[in-house]
Chains A and B, each alone.
Chain A
Amino acid sequence: MQNHDGVQVDGKVESAASVATPEFDEWANFGDQDIMQQHSAIRAEEAEKIPFLGDKAILKSLDFEPLSSLASEYQSGSAILLEKIKVLGEQYAAIRRTRGDGNCFFRSFMFSYLEHILESQDRSEVDRIKANVEQCRKTLQSLGYADFTFEDFFALFLEQLDSVLQGNEESISHDELIRRSRDQSVSDYVVMFFRFVTSGEIRKRSEFFEPFIFGLTNATVEQFCKSSVEPMGEESDHVHITALSDALGVPIRVVYLDRSSCDNGGVSVNHHDFVPAGSDAPKASEGSEKVTPFITLLYRPGHYDLLYPK
C-alpha cells in the first residue's frame, strides 16, 4: 500500500490474493465489517513479514557487495537508482527499515529521536522538547480538543522520553527501545502522539499551511487534518514533516532516492533539511550557524526508512 515504486508491489498483490476469502451465503450479507476484517487479515499477514521497525542493515558500496540489502531490491531496476545507492553507500553506514503501513515516517522519526537521546543522553534537548510538547498540549486545548482524547498518547511519549535517559528506575536499554518500537501498544500510541502534534501545528498555523495543502488535495485545512493527518495509516507528505519538525523544534534530513537524474552528468543523491521555523525553535534563531539534523530518513516514493550516517 505504501510503495508506489513498483518494486515491492508485486509481492503485496500476491499476498492479498492468498488470504483465504471466507465463504458467504449471500453477497448481500457481505458488509463493510467483513471488508474491514479482510483488510486487517491482509495487514496481519503483511505484518509478519516486516516488523514495525527492522534490524539495522549494513549498506555496502556496490563495488564490494553487489547484493547489498538495498541494491538487491533494484537488481533489475533503473541504472540511475543503482548509481545512487552506490553514492549512498559512501555517505551512510546503515539502513533500518520500517513497515510500509502508512505510519513509516512517524515511526522512523520516533525511533530515530529516542535512539538519539538514548545514545547522547542530551538532557538539555529532553528539557527543550518537553517544553515544546507542553506547548502542543496547549495548542490542542485551544483548538477545542477534549483532554482525554489525546492525553494518553502524550503521557506515553513522555514516558518513553524519560526511560531512554539513563540513571533512573525506568531506564531502558537499546534492545528494550527496539522491542518497544515493535510493540504495537507502545509504537502505535507514540505514532498517534505525533499525529496529534502534527495536526495541532497545521491547524494552529492554518494560514501558512493552507497553500501547501491546497496543492495536495482540494480539502480545507481542517478536512485535511481530519482525513489525512489524524487517522492512523495515512501517509505523510512534506506538510506533515514540516509541521512535526516545527512543532517539536527538531530538524529532520530527508534523503531522496528516486529516478531523477542530474544535469551535470554525475549522479548525486539529493537531500532536504527540514529546519524548524518559528519562535519556539531555539536552534533556528541561532542565526548563521547551520543546523545539522541528527535525524536522517531515506525517502523512496511512498516510503520512509531510517539512515545512519558514517
Chain B
Amino acid sequence: MQASRARLFKEYKEVQREKVADPDIQLVCDDTNIFKWTALIKGPSETPFEGGIFQLAFAVPEQYPLQPPQVRFLTKIFHPNVHFKTGEICLDILKNAWSPAWTLQSVCRAIIALMAHPEPDSPLNCDSGNLLRSGDLRGYYSMARMYTRLAAMPKKG
C-alpha cells in the first residue's frame, strides 16, 4: 500500500513534468484519491479516431506496480479490442505482460498505439473484428468514424 502510494506520487510528479512533451495525453489524478486517475487521449491521425478526444478511467490496485492498473474507455469507441458496452481493453500489457517498467503514461501511449493498430484476431468487439477480418475496411472505417463523431468530438453549435 505504502509502496504503491510512493510510486504513484513519483508518477504524478513525472506527469507534471511531461505535460508539454506529450500533448496527445492528458493524465489527471483524482483530487482525493491517488489510486483513481483519468486520462484524455487524442485519437491518432490517419485513423477513424482522428480528431476525437477519448477519456480513459484508471483504477490502480494496492499491489501496483507489481500488478497492472485496470483501464477502460469511458468514451464509446468502435474498436476490435475494446468492449463496446464496458470499455474494457484487451491489451497484453494490462494482463499477463505487465511489468513495473510500464507507467500510467506509457500505458496511455500503448493504448494510442492499439487504436492505430487493432488486433482483429483477439476481438472483444466481434462486429468490429469481423469487419476487419473479412477485409471490409470501408465498413470498419465508417462505423468507427461514426462513433468517433457521435461520442468523441465536441458538439458543434
Instruction: State the A residues within 8 Å of B (CB).
Output: 31-33, 36, 145-146, 148-150, 152-153, 185, 188-189, 192, 195-196, 199, 226-227, 230-233
The 9 closest A-B pairs by CB, nearest first: A230-B99, A148-B10, A231-B99, A31-B88, A149-B101, A230-B101, A227-B97, A231-B97, A188-B66
Between A and B, 24 residue pairs with Cβ closer than 8 Å are A31-B88, A31-B124, A32-B88, A32-B95, A36-B95, A146-B14, A148-B103, A149-B65, A149-B102, A150-B100, A152-B3, A152-B6, A153-B100, A188-B66, A195-B99, A226-B97, A226-B99, A227-B92, A227-B97, A230-B100, A230-B101, A231-B96, A231-B97, A231-B99
Q: Which residue of B lies closest to A196 (CB)?
A: B101
* Given the contacts A31-B83, A185-B3, A188-B66, A149 and B98 also touching, CB distance less than 8 Å: no
Query: What per-residue 1/0 map shows which CB atoms of B95-118 lie under 8 Å from chain A?
Result: 111111111000000000000000
A149 in contact with B103 (CB, 8 Å): yes
Task: Report if B86 contacts A (CB, 8 A).
Answer: yes
Q: Which residue of B lies closest to A231 (CB)?
A: B99
Task: Report if B19 contacts A (CB, 8 A).
Answer: no
B97 in contact with A146 (CB, 8 Å): no
Q: Which residue of B lies closest to A149 (CB)?
A: B101
CA gap between A230 and B96 in the complex, in Å = 11
Task: Report if B90 contacts A (CB, 8 A).
Answer: yes
Q: Which of A146, A185, A195 has its CB near the most chain B CB atoms (within 10 A)?
A: A146
Interface of chain A, helix or strand or loop or mixed?
helix
Q: Would you give the shortest CB distance from A245 to chain B, in whole angstroms?
A: 21
* Given the contacts A31-B88, A32-B90, A153-B100, A189 and B70 also touching, CB distance less than 8 Å: no
Task: Report if B11 contacts A (CB, 8 A).
Answer: yes
B11 in contact with A148 (CB, 8 Å): yes
CA gap between A226 and B14 in the complex, in Å = 22
A192 in contact with B100 (CB, 8 Å): yes
Task: Report if B133 contacts A (CB, 8 A).
Answer: no
Interface of chain B, helix or strand or loop or mixed?
loop
Instruction: State the B residues within 8 Å of A (CB).
Output: 3, 6-7, 10-11, 14, 65-66, 70, 83, 86, 88, 90, 92, 95-103, 124
A33 in contact with B70 (CB, 8 Å): yes
B99 in contact with A152 (CB, 8 Å): no
Q: Would you give the shortest CB distance from A307 to chain B, in whole angstroms?
A: 28
A33 in contact with B66 (CB, 8 Å): no
CA gap between A46 and B88 in the complex, in Å = 28
* Residues from chain B with Cβ under 8 Å of A196 in the complex: 101
CA gap between A145 and B14 in the complex, in Å = 13
* Residues from chain B with Cβ under 8 Å of A36 in the complex: 95
Q: Would you give the shortest CB distance from B8 to chain A, in whole angstroms?
A: 10
CA gap between A231 and B99 in the complex, in Å = 4
* Residues from chain A with Cβ under 8 Å of B14 in the complex: 146, 148
* Residues from chain A with Cβ under 8 Å of B6 in the complex: 152
* Residues from chain B with Cβ under 8 Å of A189 in the complex: 3, 66
CA gap between A53 and B95 in the complex, in Å = 26
CA gap between A196 and B102 in the complex, in Å = 12
Q: Would you give the shortest CB distance from B6 to chain A, in whole angstroms?
A: 7
CA gap between A150 and B99 in the complex, in Å = 10
* Residues from chain B with Cβ under 8 Å of A146 in the complex: 14, 103
Q: Would you give the shortest CB distance from A188 to chain B, in whole angstroms?
A: 6
